[in-house]
Amino acid sequence: MNQFEQIQNSGRWLRGLAGDRRGATAIEYAIIAGGISIVIVATVSAVGLMLRTNYFEPILAALVG
């Protein structure tokens, strides 16, 4: 195979790769799952802080003092 044929084959491979959409859906789902996990972590953190401030600290203060 000469150099010209290698360049042609590379061009065909790149065009085929650009038209291939099979991995796009998996990447989109991964981005969505990442966003959902960030929201879950932020919510659990906020709820935990609220519980600590409003419930556990007053109970601790009552037990200690």
Question: Does a structural domain hold residue 29?
Answer: yes
The gap from C-alpha 3 to its chain's centroid, in whole angstroms, comes to 42
Q: In which domain, by residue range, is 31 found? A: 21-65
Question: Does a structural domain hold residue 14?
Answer: no
DSSP alpha helices (H): ranges in the chain? 3-19, 22-51, 57-64
Question: Does a structural domain hold residue 27?
Answer: yes
Residue 27's pLDDT is what? 83
Answer yes or no: is pLDDT of 13 > 90. Answer: no
Q: pTM above the 0.75 mark?
A: no
Q: Which one is predicted more confidently, 26 or 43?
A: 43
Rounded to an integer, the average pLDDT of 36-57 is 95
What the block records as the tokens of 50 is: 């609220």
> How many angstroms separate the CA atoms of 43 and 36, rounded?
11
Total domain count, the chain: 1
